[in-house]
């Protein structure tokens, strides 16, 4: 189809589709009212039954924990896919790490960027771990903290210390950490079965609501997910920086 025919065809269909969207959304409950029964029940039982003050974490890692297992493996699979797609063929030699236009000298990293990146590095790591560990108390949790943690190698790269990235984030270790995080979730579920319950049943002692050790198995799952997510995103960064290349031998 030529571009104009395609555009016209699409616009007509999109108008009809917009009508369907309108019909669908017009039937929704009024904004701000009609909160769902599910939400009310979760709010009511989150502290008494599980001693978790962050209801979102209670849903993510306890009540609907199996969904989070699937989501975690989606991230795992996507990282595998990125590594696969970025693999280098044999006749493509490893390039420089700076992107050079021909005949242009790469300007050095500006001092302002370097200072700020270095200053932000330690707080980022601390903040990331804080969010991971406090998942069952305050908003946050494994996923959010993991992504914050994975921005730390990026800060190192930005301040031009590329060799330090290699030193700080050995690809082999990151891969192992990521796989351990992913497998850890399943191992925790299996441990629940071994302890006499169903898969992912929260059987550990629940602790006092509002402390770091509340929620039974949720702190462990938080750590596992944080490890997996930070490992996954760091791996993607390393793949792009050509650190983690799968050689395709012929």
122 near another protein, judged by CB under 8 A:
no
CA 175, CA 227: separation in Å to the nearest integer? 10
CA 199, CA 55: separation in Å to the nearest integer? 21
Applying CB under 8 A, the span of 89-97, 112-120, 204-212, 219-227 interacting with another protein comes to 89-97
120 near another protein, judged by CB under 8 A:
no
Q: Please, what is the angle between helix 218-240 and helix 111-133, to 10°? A: 150
- Give, as ranges, the residues between 19 and 58 that touch another protein (CB under 8 A): 19-21, 23-29, 34, 36-39, 41-42, 54, 56-57
Total of chain residues touching another protein, rule CB under 8 A:
95
Tokens (6 digits) for 5: 């025919």
Shortest separation between residue 112's beta carbon and another protein, angstroms: 19
CA 250, CA 205: separation in Å to the nearest integer? 55
Q: Strands (DSSP E) along 57-129, which ranges? A: 88-89
Dihedral angle, C-alpha 95, 101, 103, 105, nearest 10 °: -80
Shortest separation between residue 208's beta carbon and another protein, angstroms: 21
- Give, as ranges, the residues between 214 and 233 that touch another protein (CB under 8 A): 233
Query: Could you say which of 46, 161, 189, 225 contacts another protein (CB under 8 A)?
Result: 189
197 near another protein, judged by CB under 8 A:
yes
175 near another protein, judged by CB under 8 A:
yes
Q: What φ, ψ does residue 136 adopt, rounded to 5°?
A: -90, 0
CA 180, 183, 186, 191 torsion-angle sign: negative
Query: Could you say which of 133, 188, 200, 218 contacts another protein (CB under 8 A)?
Result: 200
170 near another protein, judged by CB under 8 A:
no
Q: Judged by CB, which is closer to another protein: 202, or 214? A: 202
């Amino acid at each position: 189809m030529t571009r104009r025919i395609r555009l016209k065809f699409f616009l007509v269909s999109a108008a009809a589709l917009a009508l369907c969207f309108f019909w669908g959304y017009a039937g929704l409950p009024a904004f701000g009212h009609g909160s769902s029964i599910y939400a009310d029940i979760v709010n009511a039982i989150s502290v008494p039954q599980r001693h978790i003050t962050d209801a979102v974490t209670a849903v993510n890692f306890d009540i609907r924990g199996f969904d989070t297992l699937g989501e975690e493996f989606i991230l795992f699979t996507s990282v595998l896919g990125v590594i696969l797609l970025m693999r280098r063929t044999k006749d493509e030699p490893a390039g420089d790490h700076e992107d050079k236009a021909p005949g242009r000298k790469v300007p050095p990293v500006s001092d302002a960027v370097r200072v700020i990146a270095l200053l932000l590095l330690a707080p980022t790591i601390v903040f990331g771990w804080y969010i991971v560990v406090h998942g069952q108390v305050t908003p946050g949790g494994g996923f959010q903290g993991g992504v914050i943690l994975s921005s730390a190698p990026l800060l190192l790269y930005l301040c031009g210390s590329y060799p330090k990235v290699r030193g700080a984030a050995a690809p082999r270790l990151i891969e192992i950490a990521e796989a351990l995080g992913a497998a850890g979730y399943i191992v925790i579920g299996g441990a629940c079965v071994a302890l006499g319950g169903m898969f992912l049943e929260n059987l550990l002692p629940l602790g006092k609501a509002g402390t770091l050790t509340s929620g039974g198995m949720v702190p462990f799952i938080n750590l596992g997910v944080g490890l997996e997510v930070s490992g996954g995103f760091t791996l993607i960064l390393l793949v792009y920086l050509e650190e983690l290349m799968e050689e395709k031998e012929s």
